[in-house]
Each structure stands twice: as structure tokens, then as C-alpha cells.
Amino acid sequence: SAKIAESNRLKKPTFSFEFYPPKTGQGVQNLYDRMDKMHGLGPQFIDITWNAGGRLSNLTCEMVKVAQSVYGLETCMHLTCTGMPKEKVDEALREAYKAGCTNILALRGDPPREDEPWTADPNGFRYAKDLVKHIRNTYGDYFDICVAGYPEGCEEGTPEDELLQHLKEKVEAGATFIITQMFYDVDIFLSWVQKCRDVGITVPIIPGIMPIHTYDAFVRRAKWTKCHVPPRWYELLEPVKNDDVAVREIGRDLLVEMCQKILDAGIYQLHFYTMNLATATRMVLEGLNLIPTVDQVHPPLPFRPSLGFGR
Ligand code: FAD
């Protein structure tokens, strides 16, 4: 295992794609088609989210199975504590194991309803670190375990050094890499990575990148995650906000600049929140020249002159 965690050492840019379980059967089929197409872009891995409270969790397990064993994609399954008694966690882990999936993103999870304070299932887990410990205790080193990191904090009011300690505890419990919440200000991200290193967190930190699909979605997601958007981004995007094509092109240029700065800083893995859409992510990868040629994805058969082709 630990394939994902170890690849940053190769100093070669790689990227991965997040998908979520669609709500309808047709949506699932469309997504499988898209996953198949995006396979051709050469992601290092893909991951499938786990709904708050375990809703559609069977679908997450099913999609992990299809992605891993039918499409041959290295797959990472999200798994949460919210709404998940221990038996359900164990069942999901067994399913992942049987499907040949060797990567779990262990999360506390969003509360099932935002307006309700969340209490841990009496027969479940409270924090992501408890889930990490459970996976390690049950499966040893079989799974590469990822945890979530927040360059701009998560729950309001918690001091930054406490948040860093909580992240460190998740790594000490057995996590082998970190994926971050989305952000648009690379300076904030890089200085947070340094703070992680300063407190002794040594595992790879993979930045979460949210491509820009439309202006409204961009503003909504930035507000929802309370991430800082450099003012220049609004200055460039706001004047063309009703022209989706222009928004995507300017968005691509901004994202390419942002990702290049991250790669230049020596962080070689980029994680894309695709929102189940291919175009905006593909445009960024094209801008970074990271899309492999067909030959690189499917290595050609060795040249065999003795067969006399072309005569
Ligand atoms: P934890 O690390 O457990 O932290 C939760 C809170 O508890 C934090 O405020 C932390 O500081 C605090 N805490 C931790 N340990 C202690 C302690 N010992 N004492 C006191 N406080 C403590 N949500 C979903 O529902 N499904 C998904 O698939 C999903 N995927 C995600 C993927 C990524 C990359 C990210 C960044 C987030 C994702 N989320 C998902 C959202 C996430 O579940 C929420 O942000 C959740 O509120 C926090 O989860 P966590 O795993 O970071 O929790």
C-alpha cells in the first residue's frame, strides 16, 4: 500500500479527481461514462465522497467497486463518523477491501443536517482520528489512510495551533497523507504547509483545487468554505460573470497560475474537486501541460519488425 503517500518523492507532477455519488440512476450512468473518459487523462487516483449521515452509502461502496475493479482506477473511499455505527463502518471497510480498494479518506463528516448540533453515535466514532485508529487496528498497514486538512481553519473559534495539533493527532493515529479543503490563495496554503512541518507533520500534503465552472458556483463555494479569494480574481471574473465560456477561460488561467506556483514550491500532487464535471478540470490540466499523450496512458505494443507491417 502507501502508493499515493509515497509518490510525492518522485518529484513528478500527478493529479487526482474527486467525485460524489449522483442522486439518480441516470446520473450514476453519466458519471461512470465521465469517469471512464477522465481515466484517459491519467489521474493518479480518484476518490468518492461519503454522504453526511451515511445517505447513499451503498452507492459510494458500489462506485468504489466499479472504479477500482472495472475501470482499473486507483480508488480512495471517503468514510465518515457522522451517522455511522461501528457495524456500518466495518461493513464499508470490508466492501472496500473486497473490491481491491487500498485507500480510505477518514473523516469526521459533515453533520446530517447543518442546523442540528452533532453528537457521536454511541456505538460509533467521534473524531476522524478515532476512525483512523480503528482502521489501523483492524487492517494493519493494508490501507493508505488520508485525512482532511484546513489551511484556513474549519470550525470557527478554534485557535490555529489547536487545529494543527488535532491534525497531527490524526497523522500519529496512522494517517499517511493529507488532502486539504479548497483554497484560492496560494500564499496562505504554503505558509500553512510550513506551519504543519514546524509542528512535526511530515506526511505529504495534497492541495485541494476547485476549478471554476461558473461565476455563481465560484462565489458560492468560496463563501461556503470561507476561503480568502485574492481581490484580483474578482476583478477579472466579475465583469464577465454572465459569459460562462469567458469565466471558464479566465478561471483556467487563474487556476493554472495557482497550480504552477504550488508545483514550483515542490508540491507535486494536485487534487481536483471535479464536482462530477470534466471540462473545467481538463482545461486546467491542459494549461499545465499535464495531460499525457495517448501513448503514455496506454503504452504501445513493442515494435515487432519481423511481422512485416507496412509492406
Ligand atoms: P476531525 O479531524 O475529526 O475534526 C473535527 C473537529 O473536531 C475539528 O474542529 C477539530 O479541530 C476538532 N477536534 C479533533 N480532535 C479533537 C479533540 N481531541 N478534542 C477537541 N476537538 C477535537 N464530509 C462528508 O460528510 N463526506 C465527505 O466525503 C467529505 N469529504 C471531505 C474531503 C476533504 C478533502 C475535506 C477537506 C473535507 C471533507 N468533508 C466531507 C467535510 C468534513 O467531514 C467536515 O469538514 C467535518 O466538519 C470535519 O471533518 P474532519 O475529518 O476534518 O474532522
DSSP string, 77-131: EEEESTT--HHHHHHHHHHHHHTT--EEEEE----SSTTS-----TTS-SSHHHH
CB-based burial label for 211 (10 Å; 0-12, 13-18, 19+): buried
Ligand 1 neighbour 176 (Cβ under 6 A):
no
- H helices of 207-309, in order, are 215-225, 231-237, 244-264, 279-287, 294-297
Give the rounded distance of the alpha carbon of 110 from its chain centre: 16
- Annotated active-site residue 18? The verdict is yes
DSSP 310: T
- Residues with Cβ within 8 Å of residue 262, at least 6 apart in sequence: 186, 189, 190, 207, 270
Ligand 1 neighbour 131 (Cβ under 6 A):
no
Looking at residue 100, its pLDDT comes to: 96
Report CA(151)–ligand 1 centroid distance (Å): 13
Give CA–CA dist 40/126, Å, rounded.
Answer: 39
Q: Pull the grid cell for residue 31.
A: 458519471
Looking at residue 106, its pLDDT comes to: 98
Report the 10 Å Cβ neighbour count for 212: 25
Half-sphere exposure of 197 (CA within 13 A, CB side): 8
- H helices of 156-208, in order, are 160-172, 186-198
Q: Pull the grid cell for residue 211.
A: 476549478
Q: What is the pLDDT along the chain (311 residues), one digit of tens a residue?
A: 458 888 877 889 999 999 999 999 899 999 999 988 888 899 999 999 999 777 788 899 999 999 998 888 999 999 999 888 999 999 999 999 999 999 999 999 987 766 566 777 788 899 999 999 999 999 999 999 999 999 999 877 889 999 999 999 999 999 999 999 999 999 999 999 999 999 999 999 999 999 999 999 999 999 999 999 999 999 999 999 999 999 999 999 999 999 999 999 999 999 999 999 999 999 999 999 998 766 565 444 443 333 333 32
Pocket probe mutation, ligand 1, options 59, 108, 164, max atoms within 8 Å of Cβ: 108
Whose C-alpha lies nearest to ligand 1, atom 49? 108
Report CA(302)–ligand 1 centroid distance (Å): 48
CB 46 within 8 A of CB 75: yes
Looking at residue 154, its pLDDT comes to: 87
Pocket probe mutation, ligand 1, options 166, 171, 275, max atoms within 8 Å of Cβ: 166
Q: Which of 122, 120, 95 is nearest to 109 (CA)?
A: 120
Residues forming beta bridges with residue 47, ordered by sequence position: 18, 76
Distances (CA, A) of 238 to 184, 216, 233, 241, 251: 16, 10, 8, 5, 11
Q: Which of 145, 214, 140 is nearest to 177 (CA)?
A: 145
Ligand 1 neighbour 99 (Cβ under 6 A):
no
Report the 10 Å Cβ neighbour count for 264: 9
What number of H helices and E strands is found in the chain?
12, 8
Secondary structure in 3-state letters for 35-49: HHHHHCCCCCEEEEC
Q: Which of 174, 177, 172 is nearest to 146 (CA)?
A: 177
Pairing of strands 103-107, 75-80: parallel
- Residues with Cβ within 8 Å of residue 89, at least 6 apart in sequence: 79, 81, 124, 125, 131, 134
Q: Which atom of ligand 1 is nearest to the CA of 52?
A: 25
Distances (CA, A) of 223 to 12, 51, 183, 229: 33, 21, 11, 9
pTM over 0.90: yes
Q: Which of 104, 98, 99 is nearest to 47 (CA)?
A: 104
Q: Which atom of ligand 1 is nearest to the CA of 128?
A: 3
